[in-house]
Chains A and B, each alone.
Chain A
Amino acid sequence: MVRLKNGIKCDGMEFARVVQMIPVRNIVQEVISVELSAEKKLWMYRKMYEIRCFELEVDKLFKANMIWGTCHLSVGEEATAVGAIAALEKDDMITSTHRGHGHCIAKGGKLPQMFAELLGKETGYCRGRGGSMHIADIETGNLGANGIVGGGIPIATGAALASKMKKDGKVTLCFFGDGANNQGVFHESLNIASLWKLPVVYVCENNQYGMSVAFRKSTAAENVADRAVAYNMPGEIVDGNDVEAVYFAVKKAVDRARRGEGPTLIEAKTYRWLGHSKSDANVYRTKEEIEEWKKKCPIKRYRAKLINEGVATEEELDKIEKEVEREIQEAIEYAKNSPEPSVEDIADGVYA
């Protein structure tokens, strides 16, 4: 067992894979002593599985023409959402992206309300007015998915400013994709957050593609995390398909932010298995590439790890999966049986 000083624990094989993906110079040389409880590990497994099932069911509903509009699925990226949010306290806040179902679920979003929103129902998180790209759950600290690439970055930064002013001890976690790292507001926001030492953690889910354009064709820097230097904040790269590695990297950043030492930019290298949206025929990448990444499935990997470590048995994990599958089906039923929003109320909620 190798224990990297940034908290990534892995066996020899995993280590070899990790270093293949991550330039060694970016692995931060600092020991952190946080240990994960078995309960937390199982929670992380459950949440990743929940996200996977949710997304695959959404895909099915889409193909059955039950979901209107478009929708961006995060199959393959579950470890990033779950590992990062596992590092937060309950009251902490997040901002999410157009590919935000996973973030919402990990933050405590309720599956019935999420499915209901996707089906455009009155009982959905946004009363059927937002759909996939705008699910928010202010009560659980989810300040919302965002249809604008990079749109959530200053919002997270502002929420962190509010926390600093109110001294409420909260940290805001800002998710964005590799596409967003080339928006001007990314630069504006990270500069300010660092300047004012705001309690915010920027987590870039680098899934290698901004819609169809490969990361190497969109970004002059080798890594998103390299850009942290320009803002005088720590930049870390983490294997985004290793839920514990993500957890440890984000935990360190969250602790730092909570101590008032300012933001961190974390780049989680991961991969989007499915198309950008429903209309994507994957013409810009090869089947082999997708298959290669599927071998790094964050859920399969974690399952093997939990069993190896003796945290859970096959049967126990199967039981969790069965429970999740049942909850998902119940949530879909709830959504299907929910009422449509009334046209009479079409203008509700424009103004407070």
Chain B
Amino acid sequence: MAEKLYIEALREGLREELLRDKKVFLLGEDIGIYGGAFGVTKGLVQEFGEERIIDTPISEQAITGMAVGAAIAGMRPVVEIMFFDFLTLAMDQLVNQGAKIRYMFGGKAKVPMVVRAPMGCGTGAAAQHSQSFPGVFAHFPGLKVVMPSTPYDVKGLIKAAIRDDNPVLFAEHKLLYRVKGEVPDEEYVIPLGKADVKRKGRDVTVVAGSIMVIRALEAAKELEKEGIDVEVIDPRTLKPLDMKTIIDSVKKTGRVLIVEDDPVSFGWGAEIAAGIVGSEAFDYLDAPVKRLGGLDIPIPYNPNLERHAVPQVEDIVKAVKDLLRGVIGWPK
């Protein structure tokens, strides 16, 4: 077992799948010699050649649609969309075509494709290069949505996403690329649709996704100093969503905080909250379900404003304390 960066683990996952299956290929802007805007695909074109690591023109809709076509025709394309925000340019092909084709055709076509995209703020890229909205994609039947938070998860999940016979949206928070973690040397695949308990605790459950898992774990460390024992659950995939792991945790702790990087209004946290209160966990709740998420604003440029646009460690610490004090409060 070695310590690796998230970006390295992701690259390893891609590389292993490229080696394993000739049908897998990568398609995206500047993913060749440049190595991708964030360096995820660095070195792959040298190893696999320009025929499998394909630099495309700046044409998000066409390349996403081409992935749909290539997938129906038997390939396993992996598209990189340079920034998550640019997925809006590819919506027709992802949502109206990729996601719906199998059902529309009576279950007679497969669309095995992955669309990867780096999301999130914290880099000063402002409103059009910083938004996180994987929750939007979870709203479309036919898509799967994955948002790994650790190097271990990103490797196992990218491999599962590539092997899946459905279109998978793979959301990578930019700030995670430089996060380090243990990655086994031997091969492993993490099935889609399984949440992970990132930290065991008995006082309160924090359900967090993507970058918020890292922040929740830091918050848990601080809260531990005050004798508060936090359980952190990472759904890992929004679709399919593993509610059972979440419900079991809430039944144990009786208190839950949901933290997301998406704007909080209509965010996926609401889906999880509804899933909890609509389940047997409702009877175990000692406090109302609490949520934290991004403010309802486009991501601002100024570093201080940007920081305040999404939950930080201190916000999570405060929210957990409020929850334990029984303070009923909606997110800031």
Contacts and interface: CB of A to CB of B under 8 A. Distances in A.
Are A and B part of the same complex? Answer: yes
Interface of A: 93, 95, 124-130, 134, 136, 138, 143-144, 146-148, 151, 153-163, 165-166, 172, 184-185, 188-189, 191-192, 195, 348-352
A134 B107 CA distance: 12
Contacts of B57: 188, 191-192, 195
A154 B102 contact: no
Interface string B185-228: 00000000000000000000000000000000000000000000
Interface centre among B63, B70, B71 (most CB of A within 10 A): B70
Contacts of B69: 95, 143, 154-162, 172
Contact of A136 (B65, B67, B70, B105): B105
Interface string B101-132: 11111111111100000000000000000000
B59 A191 contact: yes
B28 to A, nearest CB: 13
A158 B109 contact: no
Interface string B140-169: 011010000000000000000000011000
Contacts of A159: 69-70, 72-73
Interface string B43-68: 00000000110001101011111111
A185 B105 contact: no
B288 to A, nearest CB: 33
B255 to A, nearest CB: 34
Contacts of B6: none
B56 A166 contact: no
Contacts of A125: 105-106, 108
B93 interface: yes
B105 A154 contact: no
B172 to A, nearest CB: 23
Nearest to A135: B105
B97 A155 contact: yes
B74 interface: yes
A188 B106 contact: no
A156 B93 CA distance: 12
B59 A126 contact: no
Given A129-B103, A138-B109, A151-B92, 19 more contacts: A126-B108, A136-B101, A138-B72, A143-B69, A147-B96, A148-B92, A153-B65, A158-B65, A158-B67, A158-B71, A161-B69, A162-B69, A191-B62, A192-B56, A192-B57, A349-B106, A350-B102, A351-B144, A352-B107
A144 B66 contact: no
Contacts of A95: 69
Contacts of B109: 136, 138, 143-144
Interface string B241-252: 000000000000
21 contacts: A127-B106, A129-B103, A129-B105, A129-B106, A138-B105, A143-B109, A144-B104, A155-B69, A158-B73, A158-B77, A163-B73, A165-B25, A185-B59, A188-B59, A191-B59, A192-B63, A192-B66, A349-B105, A350-B102, A351-B144, A352-B112
Contacts of A138: 72, 105, 108-109
Contact of A189 (B62, B105, B111, B165): B62
Nearest to A196: B54
